[in-house]
Amino acid sequence: MLRFVVRRLLQLIPVVFIIVTLTFFMLRAAPGGPFTAEKAVSPEVLRNLEAHYGLDQPVWKQYLTYLGHLARGDLGPSYKYTNRTINEIIAGKLPTSLELGGLALGIALLVGLPLGVLAAVKRNTWIDYLCSICGLVGICVPPFVLGPLLALVFGIYLHWFDVSGWEYAGDRVLPSVTLGFAYAAYLMRLARSGMLEVLHLDFIRTARAKGAGEARLVFHHALRGGLLPVVSYLGPAIAGLLTGSFILETVFQIPGLGREFVTSASNRDYTLVLGLVVLYTVFIVVMNLVVDVVQVWLNPRLRFE
């Protein structure tokens, strides 16, 4: 397992290199720059700003300089936030995005897994049909549609929760439910299909013939194998919960990384865009690695290859 983990972590280096290279040159190829939208900036001041940040140098030299700083863990200064580095911005905003993603993941697991298992056990009954309808609605209604609807009903009309901010416990309810509902629907469908496949295997029939109760069949025999599709999906899902908060953080005015990413793209803050791309890339690769390890633990027939 150690060789497998080390090999996968080493694969992270070329992945980050390729993504950073593509992002770097695409940003430079776009028209405009970080300071072209500034008001009342004379050409002389603009030249001084570009010289201060090294933007007056050839693109290839800027690229090599950025790679050198990145290798040392330095993501560079922000072009829009004066006297602040990208490392400081990420350190200040990342906990909020992680908290939102963690709450949404908890809601998705607490709702999706029980409904999926229940739908599989009660196959072709009204319970199964009701759970399937809920899953279909969760998949068809995107978060950027569900979020404003929940804010309108429960925030503006009923005044149960706040529709913006991230200061109180009530501020976290609507964004977490909005983001977690869609992933709960996917988890429900995956758990249902995985459990249905396992419940029809020979060892389940043998256990049932020996007199095992339904609860023991489900939780002791079938659940471990039935959740393998769910575990496979959790890696991209957890990464999606972090990156999928871009729009929601803007809708609910949450001071997280998603909102900063949208703002930095609009402001052409090159270093902040690159820093967030690097962060998301590392996070996705690491989460996929964790999922692979958990899959082998759940299914001993798999091997670290």
pLDDT in tens, 115-133: 888 888 888 888 888 888 8
Read off the pTM: 0.77
Segment 131-152 mean pLDDT: 83
The single residue listed with the structure tokens 């999606």 is 240
Residue 15: partners with Cβ closer than 8 Å, 6 or more residues away: 281, 285
pLDDT in tens, 205-247: 676 676 666 666 666 666 666 777 787 787 777 777 766 667 7
User: Which has the closest alpha carbon to 120: 221, 201, 209, 189?
Assistant: 189
Contact present, 261 and 271 (Cβ < 8 Å): no
Contact present, 63 and 97 (Cβ < 8 Å): no
- Whether 24 shows a pLDDT value over 80: the answer reads yes
Give the three-class secondary structure for 85: strand
Contact present, 235 and 291 (Cβ < 8 Å): yes
The full set of domains in the chain, from first to last, is: 2-71 (no CATH), 98-269+280-298 (1.10.3720.10)
Q: Report how far residue 194's alpha carbon sits from residue 120's, in angstroms, rounded to the nearest whole number.
A: 9
pLDDT in tens, 239-294: 777 666 677 777 788 888 877 777 777 777 888 888 888 888 888 778 777 777 77
